[in-house]
Chains A and B, each alone.
Chain A
Amino acid sequence: MSEDNVEARTPEEAPADGTEVQETIINLEKAEEAKLKARYPNLGHKPGGSDLLRKRLQKGQKYFDSGDYNMAKAKITNKQLPTAAAPEKSEITGDHIPTPQDLPPRKPPLVASKLAG
């Protein structure tokens, strides 16, 4: 906290003089801005500009194609059910022609919300 060079008074404790409160607020923000510029000297001068907004418009991870997406999804679901998948796999192959009931489900069953539990 000692790195703040601004007045120790917070705006809530400031006197009734409005302009002094306003100055304190601006000083705080400008001090924070100086900190940021010190850490990232290449920061652009238009903070609310189109770069930030465009990043916001396109949120979410971009995949190469639907195959890439499905592989990534499968990796996550396999991680979530490691023990369930393995024994079933070893039973299926080789012994007999599998029927639809024998096969492991294509998608894992949807887990109910813990709020309802």
Chain B
Amino acid sequence: MAAPGGDMQWCFSQVKGAIDDDVAEADIISTVEFNHTGELLATGDKGGRVVIFQQEIENKSLPQFRSEYNVYSTFQSHEPEFDYLKSLEIEEKINKIRWLPQKNAAQFLLSTNDKTIKLWKISERDKRPDGYNLKEDDGRCKDPNSITSLRVPVLIPMDLMVEASPRRVFANAHTYHINSVSVNSDHETYLSADDLRINLWHLEITDRSFNIVDIKPANMEELTEVITAAEFHPHQCNTFVYSSSKGIIRLCDMRESALCDRHTKLFEEPEDPSNRSFFSEIISSISDVKFSHSGRYMMTRDYLSVKIWDLNMENRPVETYQVHEYLRSKLCSLYENDCIFDKFECCWNGNDSVVMTGSYNNFFRMFDRSQRRDVMLEASRENSKPMQVLKPRKVCAGGKRKKDEISVDSLDFNKKILHTAWHPQDNIIAVATTNNLYIFQDKIN
């Protein structure tokens, strides 16, 4: 098989995180997100912490330009809580981070755990006041009687300090576990979705939110479907979609009614009932839904594949890509070890021509839609020499294993890449393994 890649080759750029194999649970990365310019890259982890990296461009005009992401700010976003009513722990794990478009000098992001969404302001301080009349330099108060002249305090430069402060806390609106947060294109509102409900918030108002989708049945015994992800349309502020555990995506228009329980469009690929197996519904559960930047398409990720849907066509996807078809013959053991319930995310590149998603054994895949090519790469410390080109990987499902191929039985199912992100403009990608963050970039940028 001809080696894919052609004009695009991916190189190692950086890796963040501890090298040791003994991973503390708090260090497990749970979300990765570039901001709208790609200058900032945020990660959230199971310990409730957010780390933000900033891109420092060495020299964009040079052909071999390297963009380095260095730590910009880190803070504790959420802490563990105890739900006294239900006697359950509320995990501090950050489920999602979403950046707000930048409006002034400060940066804002929404971070959420299972129950509470917080709006964080990240601001820079590079000046400080000097020359107070009533205070000494170290802060002690001066005796007013000792002052013989007045001076005007001035602002003097200081070492850059980046401060993160929580500006809003949106709490107590979700009975079930929040899986998604999405900022609206109006830059004023956002939605938060849990297993059964979706709420609409205004960024300035924390004591009220509107419920816009409620799929909770009157009798919980009749529960057949839960919400798995939700996202606002990138340009139409009245439109959002939500995906379900049954592989269905519903598009809703908020102009139609206050409660969008009746969908405007329903996207579902028809399936012959006689072809169903025990696993069919489980593997059809959608773990992520993402609109294309153009707003014309949306992508869904289910357990084994990535599907591209045209918003104008509801009855089937326009493209389907198999991520790791070789796992179909392993579904029994994947069900037993719970891996079949892993929630992989997916992402688009800046011009919607390539999509990317993760897999097991620290493999991740890219599908080039325009060139009809795909590649599987690996994020590992063994391929982490500066600018080292990543070699394509291949898994063989059975029978004869060729040289350089890895057998499906040798895959490490504990090494999963669930979270990936693509820079909005450049070919720079962030790939999260269990506790490390890899940054790769295109060789010919």
Using a CB–CB cutoff of 8 Å, the interface residues on chain A facing chain B are 1, 4, 6, 8, 10-12, 22, 25-26, 28-33, 35-37, 39, 43, 47-50, 52-54, 56-66, 68-70, 73, 110-117
A117 to B435, CA, bound (A): 13
Is residue B425 contacting chain A, with contact meaning CB distance below 8 A?
no
Residue numbers in A under 8 Å from B420 (CB-CB): none
User: What total count of A-B pairs have CB within 8 Å?
Assistant: 141
Residue-by-residue, is B20-34 near A (CB-CB < 8 Å gives 1, otherwise 0)?
Answer: 000000110100000
Chain B residue, CB-CB nearest to A70: B82
Shortest CB–CB separation between residue A45 and chain B, in angstroms?
9
- With A53-B224, A69-B82 known as contacts, the answer to whether A36 contacts B325 (CB < 8 A) is no
Check if A66 sits within 8 Å of B84, measured CB to CB.
yes
Chain A residue, CB-CB nearest to B44: A113
Is residue B51 contacting chain A, with contact meaning CB distance below 8 A?
yes
Check if B277 sits within 8 Å of A32, measured CB to CB.
yes
Residue numbers in A under 8 Å from B332 (CB-CB): 32-33, 35-36, 39
**Residue from B51, B275, B285, B398 in contact with A115 in the complex, judged by beta carbons closer than 8 Å:** B51
Q: List which B76-98 residues lie within 8 A (CB) of chain A.
A: 76, 80, 82, 84, 86-91
Kindly specify which of B132-140, B215-223, B255-263 makes contact with the partner chain.
Answer: B215-223
Q: List which B320-353 residues lie within 8 A (CB) of chain A.
A: 322, 325-326, 328-332, 335-336
Residue numbers in B under 8 Å from A10 (CB-CB): 325-326, 397-398
DSSP majority for the A interface?
helix
Residue numbers in B under 8 Å from A61 (CB-CB): 88-89
Check if B275 sits within 8 Å of A4, measured CB to CB.
no
The 5 closest A-B pairs by CB, nearest first: A48-B281, A29-B277, A32-B331, A35-B332, A33-B278
Check if A112 sits within 8 Å of B224, measured CB to CB.
no
Shortest CB–CB separation between residue A62 and chain B, in angstroms?
6
A65 to B84, CA, bound (A): 7
Q: List 8 A-B contacts (CB under 8 A).
A: A22-B275, A32-B329, A32-B332, A33-B332, A48-B285, A53-B225, A60-B89, A115-B51
Residue numbers in B under 8 Å from A59 (CB-CB): 177
A108 to B82, CA, bound (A): 18
Check if B16 sits within 8 Å of A115, measured CB to CB.
yes
Is residue B47 contacting chain A, with contact meaning CB distance below 8 A?
yes
DSSP majority for the B interface?
mixed
Residue numbers in B under 8 Å from A111 (CB-CB): 26, 47
**Residue from B45, B90, B280, B329 in contact with A4 in the complex, judged by beta carbons closer than 8 Å:** B329
Q: How many residues of B contact A (CB 8 A)?
A: 60
Check if B398 sits within 8 Å of A48, measured CB to CB.
no
Check if A47 sits within 8 Å of B279, measured CB to CB.
yes
Residue numbers in A under 8 Å from B336 (CB-CB): 36, 39
Check if A57 sits within 8 Å of B89, measured CB to CB.
no
Is residue B67 contacting chain A, with contact meaning CB distance below 8 A?
no
Check if B223 sits within 8 Å of A60, measured CB to CB.
no
Chain B residue, CB-CB nearest to A23: B275
Chain A residue, CB-CB nearest to B437: A115
Shortest CB–CB separation between residue B216 and chain A, in angstroms?
10
Is residue B195 contacting chain A, with contact meaning CB distance below 8 A?
yes
Residue numbers in B under 8 Å from A22 (CB-CB): 275
Is residue B246 contacting chain A, with contact meaning CB distance below 8 A?
yes
Check if B89 sits within 8 Å of A63, measured CB to CB.
yes
Check if A62 sits within 8 Å of B87, measured CB to CB.
yes
Shortest CB–CB separation between residue A24 and chain B, in angstroms?
9
9 additional contacts (CB under 8 A) given A60-B88, A115-B17: A29-B277, A30-B277, A32-B279, A36-B335, A48-B285, A61-B88, A66-B82, A113-B26, A114-B27
Check if A50 sits within 8 Å of B222, measured CB to CB.
yes
Check if A29 sits within 8 Å of B279, measured CB to CB.
yes
Is residue B389 contacting chain A, with contact meaning CB distance below 8 A?
no
Chain A residue, CB-CB nearest to B283: A29
**Residue from B88, B245, B325 in contact with A11 in the complex, judged by beta carbons closer than 8 Å:** B325
Check if B325 sits within 8 Å of A32, measured CB to CB.
no
Check if B328 sits within 8 Å of A116, measured CB to CB.
no
Check if B51 sits within 8 Å of A116, measured CB to CB.
yes
Check if B88 sits within 8 Å of A53, measured CB to CB.
no
Residue numbers in B under 8 Å from A73 (CB-CB): 80
Residue numbers in A under 8 Å from B322 (CB-CB): 11-12
Residue numbers in B under 8 Å from A47 (CB-CB): 278-279, 281-282
A35 to B326, CA, bound (A): 17
